[in-house]
Amino acid sequence: MSWLKSLHDSSTSVFISMAFAFVYSLAFIYLMSAFAEYLAKGLVFLILGGLWMATFITGYMYSHP
């Protein structure tokens, strides 16, 4: 049961880590709720642009052997 004693000895660090994890989770949820729509739109346009570029590049490579 040495791991239980080690866990008891480090309980302060464990509780502080849990508190920081909770605070970071709340901050992440807040930021995602504020910017998720813009992030999703940006990624959609980025993927759309990449697909268009891939289409044009492969069309060019096909027509100029």
Q: Supply φ then ψ for residue 64, to 5 degrees.
A: -125, 80
pLDDT at 1 over 80: no
CA distance between the termini of the chain: 72
How far is CA 9 from each of CA 5, 12, 22, 44, rounded to the nearest angstrom? 6, 8, 22, 49
Please report which confidence band the pLDDT of residue 41 belongs to, taking 50, 70 and 90 as the band edges. very high
Please report which confidence band the pLDDT of residue 30 belongs to, taking 50, 70 and 90 as the band edges. very high
Taking the whole predicted model, whether its pTM rises above 0.75 is answered as no
Output the pLDDT for position 46: 98
Segment 12-39 mean pLDDT: 93
What average pLDDT is seen over the chain?
92
Residue found by looking up tokens 């970071």 in the block? 24
